[in-house]
Structure 1
C-alpha cells in the first residue's frame, strides 16, 4: 500500500552504520512527506485492519502532526553534517586521516549556521564533543591535519594558533616515534615544510597540494529541509593519488618528517566508534550483507 503512494520508493535506505541508515531513512520520509500524509488520510488506510487498530491510529496522528515534521527538520539539520563525517571516515579507497579533524570542525560550523538560536544546538554540541573526546578523537587526527598540505597551507594562521591541535600533534610524535633523536629531527625539519622551502617550494609541489589530495568532491546528499534552505553535503572522493603520494614525491628534503607523515596519513579510519551497540558479528558484515539482510527483513 505504502509504495503505491510513494511511487514505489522505499523509505529505508541501508548504510554502513545505524546512524547513517536512520538519517537517510528520515530524509526519505521527508521527501515523501506529502505522499505519506495522503496515505494516512486515505480511505484505503483508514478502512484497513491496521488503520482501525490503536497503533494504526497513533501512526496516523504522528505523520499528520506538524510538530513531528518540525522535529524531522531539526534532526536533518543536525544529522546531515555528521553523516558527511561518517562517510568520509568510511572511505574505502584511501585513508582520510588528514581530513577528519577539519571535517568535525566544519560539521559543527554547518550545524551552527543552520540554527539561529544557540539554545537549539548547545545540547547537541555537548553530545558531539563528549562522543568525539571519548570515542573518536585521537592525536593521530591532529597530526593528520597538520601534515595535510591541502589544509595546512590554506589555514596556516588558524592552525598555528590552535594549542590543543599542537598538543595532539606532539603527542602523536612521542607515541609513534620512540627515539628522541628522531623526534628532534622531525621537529627541526618541520620548519622547512611550514615555510614551503626546498622541494616543498617547487611550483609542482605547490600546485599539487590539492591535486595530489582527494580533492574531487562528490555530492552524496541533497535535500530541502524547509522552503528557505537547500542543503548540499559533499564528501571528498578518495582518488588514486593522495596526501601520502604528495609526501613521497616532495618530502625528500625532510626525510624523517617524510617517514612520519607517510606513517600517519596512511592509517585507516572507522566509524564503528559511532555505534552504541556494535557487536562483533555486525562489525564483520560487509555493506552488501547488511543491505541483503535489511531487504530480507522488509
Structure 2
C-alpha cells in the first residue's frame, strides 16, 4: 500500500465491502459509505467523516492535496476564471469581479458531500495576488478591485468564526442565523452598509465552524492539562436535580491557569449505591491522573454527594474531599437566620419592605426621601439577601423616619389604615433599630467574606483558615466582647466549620502561607499540625519524599537557607504564596513542590462559574441519533469551556440566566448588586479578609475558640 509521490489510488487504501458502496479503511478499519468519503477520511479533511489516526503522513498529504486541487477546480468553475497568464490556472480561485456577492457558503454547496472547511481560501487568494507577474494591461484599477475583494474574503472568514463563537458562547438557537434582522444587523455592523458579508448558515454552524472551534478549544484544554503535574488541580462537582427528577452532575477541573469542563453524567441510577458513585469518581480521577489531583470540591453536604463525602477519605487515600467554602458560609448564614432573635428582626424588615413596595404612592414617597435609593436590591447570593436588604434599611434609617413623620405621609390614606400605622410604628421603634444593628454585626462579616470569595480570581486555600478565625473575632469585637451575645453565632460557625468546611489542606495552606507563618502573631495549634501532617501523608505517597519534606519544614520554620531572604519580605506585598515558594524554595524541591500544589488550589466550588445547566440536560437526554449526540457533545464542550475561559480572562458577563429561585417578597427588578454603598458600618471593614482573599499578605489576628 505504498503511495507514490505523483499520484495515489484510493482503491489501494480501502476495501469495498458490498454492492452498497460501503468501504473499509485499511489502516483503522473504519467503514464509510463511498470511496470519496474514504479520501476525506484518509486526507484528514473533516466534514461529516472523522479523520484517520493511523494513516501514514505521506499518504495523508497526498490525499489532502488531491482534495484541495479538486476543491479549487470546483471553485473556479462556479465563479468564473480570472485570466492571468503568469499564474498557474489550477490556482485561479479568486472570484470574478463581476460576482461580488458570491460567498463561501455557495462554494461549499458546490464542493460535494465532503465539507472542506472552506480550505483557507483567503490565503490562496493572497498567494495568487502576490505573484511576480503583472495584471492584464497593467490596470491599477483592477489591482485595487482585487485587493478589495481579497480583503472582503479575509474579513468575512474571520467574521463567520466570530459570529459562530457568539452562538456557541451564548447557547442561542442556531436557527436565529436565518432571521432577516440578524443578517441586516451583521452586514450593517461589519460592512457599514457597503459590502454584504457572508453569514454562516445553520449547517455551517453545526458543521465545519463547530469542528474548528472544538479543535481550538481542545488545544486550550491541552495547554491547561499540561500544568496539572506542577500545580496540581481540583475536581469541582456541580450537581442538581432537573425537571425530570434526574440527578445530574458536571465535572470541572480547576487549577491556576483556569477551570475546564470535563464531562456531564446522569447519576440517577446510582442514587443510594455509594459503591457505584465512588466507582464513577474513581474513573474521573483516573482520567485526570491521581498524582495531579489535590482535592474534590463538593457543592453540597446533602444528597448523594453527602453520602459519598462521608466515606471518600477512607476509600480514596490519595485525594482530599472538601466542601465549597461559599456553600458552607451560606449554610452558616441560613442557620444564623433561624436564630429566634435574628428571624424576628428579618421578619419585621420584610414587613416594612412589603408594605412600601406593595403600594405605588408609598414607594414614590420613599424615592423622594431617599433621593431614589432602594431598600431592596437583587443579589445572586440568596442566603445573603435578607441581611443585605436589612443593611439597606438601616442605612436609610433617618430618611425612613423622616418619611413617616412628614406631612405627605400624615395626609395620605395609608397613614390612617391599620397596616400603615403598624409600619410607621415599627420605623419609629428604637428597639427595632437596636436589634437590626446586632443582626448586622453578627452576619455582615460572613456576607463580606462570601462576596469576596465569589469575586476572587486567585487561589484561596492559603487564607481560608485565617479568614474564618478573623470573621469570628470581628463578630466578637462588634458585639463588645459580650459572650452572651457573640457565642450563639460562634456556635453556628464552629459547627459548620468542624463538620463540613475545615479540611487538612486548609490547615496546611495556613502553615505554608509565608505571609501568615512569618508574622508575629502566627499561631499553630494541634489542629494545624495534624492537618499539615495528614496532607503530607495523603498527597505525598513516597515515604522517602515524606521524610525529606519533614526535614525541610524545619528549615522553613527557622527561616534558614533560601527561606531567610523570603521571610524578610514586607508583609504588605502582594506576592501570591505559590509564587513565593517558586522563588525562595528552590533549595528544597520536595517541600517546594508540595507547598506549591497546596497553595495553588481554590477553596470554592463550581457554582461560582454559573454554567448553563440546560445544555447538560439536553446532552444527557437519550434517544438522540449518534451523529446529533456527538454534535451536541461538541457544542456543550465548546460552550462550557468558552464560559470558563472568559471567566479566567476576567471577561465575565451575565449571559446566563439567574438560576437561584427569586425571593419575591424581597426582590425588585434591578441589576444585581452587593450591599448598599452608603453603609459605612465597621462590620464591613474586614480589611484582613479582603487582602487575604485577593492574595495579599496581611498581619494575623488569631481568634482562639472558646468553650461552648
Which TM-score bucket, shorter chain as reference? 0.7 to 0.9
1:27-38 map, 5 Å? 27-38=391-402
* RCO higher in structure (CA 8 A, sep ≥6): 1
In 1, distance between residues paired with 2:435 and 2:442? 11
Query: Compared with structure 1, are the counterparts of its residues 165 and 15 closer, same or farther at alpha carbon in structure 2 (3 Å cutoff)?
Result: farther
Moved more, 247-256 or 109-118: 109-118
Deviation at 1:152, TM superposition (A): 0.5
2:513 counterpart (148, 158, 170): 148
Q: Which residue of 2 aligns with 1:194?
A: 557
SS at match of 1:296: coil
Aligned residue among 492, 511, 517 for 1:127? 492
What's 2:177 paired with?
A: none
- Offset at 1:262? 1.1
The separation in 2 between residues aligned to 1:75 and 1:115, in whole angstroms, is: 10
Aligned to 2:596: 262
Are 2:511 and 1:138 equivalent residues in the alignment? no
Match of 1:237 in 2: none
Q: Is the 8 A contact 2:518 2:567 kept in 1?
A: no
* Correspondence list, 1:1-298, <5 A: 1=364, 2-45=366-409, 48=412, 54-116=418-480, 117-155=482-520, 158-159=523-524, 162-202=525-565, 205-208=566-569, 210=571, 212-213=573-574, 241-270=575-604, 288=654, 296=669
CA drift of 1:183 comes to 2.3
Cα–Cα, structure 1 residues 135 and 194, in superposed 2: closer, same or farther, change >3 Å? same
Q: Which runs of 5+ in 1 are unaligned?
A: 214-240, 274-279
Distance 1:96 1:133 in 2: 19
CA gap of 1:101–1:33, structure 2 versus 1, over 3 A, is: same
Cα 1:92/1:45, change in 2 over 3 Å: same
| Cα distance in 1 between the residues matched to 2:418 and 2:540 | 64
Q: Quickly say closer, same or farther: Cα 1:61–1:181, change in 2 above 3 A.
A: farther
RMSD of aligned residue pairs (Cα, Å): 3.2
Q: SS where residue 151 of structure 1 aligns?
A: helix
Mapped contact 2:377–2:670 kept (Cα < 8 A): no
Q: Looking at CA atoms only, which structure, 1 or 2, has the larger radius of gyration? A: 2
Return the alpha-carbon distance in structure 2 between the equivalents of residues 191 and 23 of structure 1. 45
**Contact kept? 1:88, 1:100, Cα under 8 Å:** no
Q: Is the 8 A contact 1:37 1:64 kept in 2?
A: yes
Unaligned runs of 5+ residues in structure 2 are: 1-363, 614-639, 644-651, 672-708
Higher helix share: 1
Shift in Å at residue 192 of structure 1? 1.2
- How many angstroms does 1:19 deviate by? 4.0
**8 Å contact 1:77–1:114 — kept in the other structure?**
yes
TM-score (norm 2): 0.33
* Alignment partners' CA distance in 2, 1:130 and 1:37: 39
Scaled by the length of structure 1, the TM-score of the pair is 0.75
For residue 43 of structure 1, report the CA deviation from its aligned partner.
Answer: 4.4
Of the structure 1 ranges 264-273 and 30-39, higher mean CA displacement relative to structure 2 is found in: 264-273
Partner residue in 2 for 1:238:
none
